[in-house]
Amino acid sequence: MAPDITLFFLNASRSIRIAFLLEALNLPYTLISADRAPNGLAPPDFKARIRAAGQSLGKSPTLLDGDLVIAESGAIVEYLLEVYDTEHTLMPPLGDAAGRAKVREWVHAAEGGFMMPAMPVLYTRWQVPEHVPDRDQLLAVVEKKLSANVHNSFDWLEGQLKAQKAQGSGWLVGQGLTAADVVLQFSVQFIMERKLGVGGREEGKWPEVVAWLERTEAVEAYRKAVSKTGYSLDGNFRK
């Protein structure tokens, strides 16, 4: 019996992680998507649909699988892997405790190690009014102070990718794409595109990170997810 999966997908958000994962697992799903409103937030009617489906905060991504309602991208990823990755396509098998632990490490680092130190940079930009004198200089000083942990995380990722490269792999864990790559991709892409404490891809400071990011973006499952959802970091998202 085919799964009865529905994905509530907000553009320019962590929702792409779930669409990427669903495509990589070759799982059919119904897509309910929305672009961001002019204020950069999820449209109220879209949030209302998610609440009506059983997620009281109206958060995206939200996944329905039959009667089950799950929010939070990390929780959704763990559920999909546990239930549907029976061939261990994106998570090593139970006998490989070390490999499974490394995948989980990156899945959690995507938020705790990358997004958590980067988001204060974005929030600062949002909160300092345009009319503040010398706003750009002020933001530059504040962002420099906030960027240390973002740099630390990118240095760590660069080092791990170099170590993997020495083992003949272009991926975070083992020799192929795993959930680690799927989940961390959005964090790195978002931080670099928004320049949240780091420069963009053109900066050249983390060449292995950029090469890895481009590999993930070339994966067929990711390209299918982008095509199906219309995913983009452009549009109404506040910068």
pLDDT (tens digit per residue) in 188-228: 999 999 999 998 888 899 999 999 999 999 999 999 999 99
User: Measuring CA to CA, which residue among 9, 34, 19 is closest to residue 77?
Assistant: 19
The tokens for 94 are 């139970």
User: Measuring CA to CA, which residue among 26, 17, 31, 32 is closest to residue 78?
Assistant: 17
pLDDT (tens digit per residue) in 38-84: 988 999 999 999 999 999 999 999 999 999 999 999 999 999 999 99
Q: How far is CA 166 from CA 48, 67, 102, 159, 163, in A?
A: 49, 46, 17, 11, 5
Question: What are the beta bridge partners of residue 95?
Answer: none
Q: Mean pLDDT, to the nearest integer, of 2-9?
A: 94
pLDDT score at 200: 84
Taking 80 as the threshold, does the pLDDT of residue 2 lie above it? no
Taking 60 as the threshold, does the pLDDT of residue 238 lie above it? no
Rounded to 10°, the helix 179-194/15-24 angle is 150
pLDDT score at 126: 84
pLDDT score at 199: 83
Dist CA 213 CA 46 (whole Å): 30
- What band does 28 get if pLDDT is binned at 50, 70 and 90? very high
Dist CA 204 CA 63 (whole Å): 37
- What band does 234 get if pLDDT is binned at 50, 70 and 90? confident
The full set of domains in the chain, from first to last, is 5-87 (3.40.30.10), 97-225 (1.20.1050.10)
pLDDT score at 127: 83
The 3-state DSSP composition of the chain as helix, strand, coil percent (nearest 5) reads 55, 10, 35
pLDDT (tens digit per residue) in 133-184: 888 888 888 888 889 999 999 999 999 999 999 999 999 999 999 999 999 9
pLDDT score at 172: 99
pLDDT score at 235: 59
Q: How far is CA 148 from CA 114, 142, 239, in A?
A: 11, 11, 20
Contact status, residue 171 vs residue 90, Cβ threshold 8 Å: no
